[in-house]
Structure 1
Amino acid sequence: MKLKITVDGKLYEVDVEVSEPERAKPGFVAPIGHVRVPAAPVAPPPPSAAVDQVADESKVCRSPFAGTVSRVEAEVGAQIQPNEVLVVIEAMKMETSITAPDAGKIARINVAAGDAVKQGQVLVEFE
């Protein structure tokens, strides 16, 4: 293989011999956005990693991703309207406002500023 290299402003043409064999290309490359499922079954996560279980999913607001709570904008007992900001979560140096899915009254706020949250964790509960 011939290469051109510049050293101190001078152009040199050199022959290079590759002493290592080329690596084999992978047999399967998943398309972008797809995940290859392993052949062996995967053990379920430990109980401590499970997301919160609630009786009525329409009465909670969950975190859509893992991150850190920057601010809590809502207060317990407050009447809220759809799309009103409840919590602001920071992930990958970006802040995302988590908004109310429906109108209602806040029964409990399960996070505080600075808390790390997991994907699917219950942030706010409604009456």
Structure 2
Amino acid sequence: MKLRITIDGKAYEAEVEILESAESAPDYPPYPPAPSAFVPPSAPESMSAPQSPEAGSNEKECRSPVTGMVMRIDVEPGQTVEPNDVVMMLESMKMEMQITASQASVVKSVQVTPGSSVKVNQLLVEFE
């Protein structure tokens, strides 16, 4: 069988052979079903900055859990925040993550600006 194809105004002719369906389709074993006991892993509760051993555990500080870039800051000095309120949005490896407050507090100072690059454990926000 001959076919004519036109690409960008130029005509091409091609000769095509139709194969029998048994010849062209290989036999594959059936795909096994998914296990019925599959349970997806749970998502992390919060991306509040974890503290490294050398940083100590200071509830009056919010530190970066990753190396990344500050995309958005949702708080300002003097603002009251509740537990799990979004403090800012970071981007790391093309993924956005919300940084949340670990407890109710008042924002004392914000140490970064949108577009700032941050490192792991860098101070982002201080609370009173």
What is the TM-score with the length of structure 2 in the denominator?
0.56
| Distance change in 2, residues 1:54/1:125 (3 Å) | farther
Runs of 4+ in 1 over 2 A off after TM superposition: 53-56
CA RMSD of aligned residues (A): 1.9
Matched residue, 1:66: 67
Please give the residue correspondences for 1:1-127 in structure 2 after superposition, counting only pairs within 5 Å: 57-127=58-128
Give me the whole-angstrom Cα distance separating, in 2, the residues matched to 1:102 and 1:75.
16
Q: Which amino acid aligns with 2:87?
A: L
Find the counterpart in structure 2 of residue 13 from structure 1: none
Q: Which residue of 1 aligns with 2:8?
A: none
1:75 is displaced (CA, Å) by 1.0
User: What letter corresponds to residue 125 of structure 2 in structure 1?
Assistant: V
**Structure 2: any 5+ residue segments left out of the alignment?**
1-51
% same residue = 42
- TM-score normalised by the chain length of structure 1: 0.56
Bigger Rg, which one:
2
Distance of aligned partners of 1:114 and 1:77 in 2 relative to their CA distance in 1, 3 Å threshold: same
Number of aligned positions between the proteins: 76
Bigger shift: residues 104-113 or 56-65: 56-65
Q: 1:120 to 1:74 in 2, by over 3 A?
A: same
Distance across 1 between alignment mates of 2:56 and 2:64: 17
Q: CA deviation at 1:83?
A: 0.3
Rounded Cα–Cα distance in structure 1 between residues aligned with 2:63 and 2:102:
10
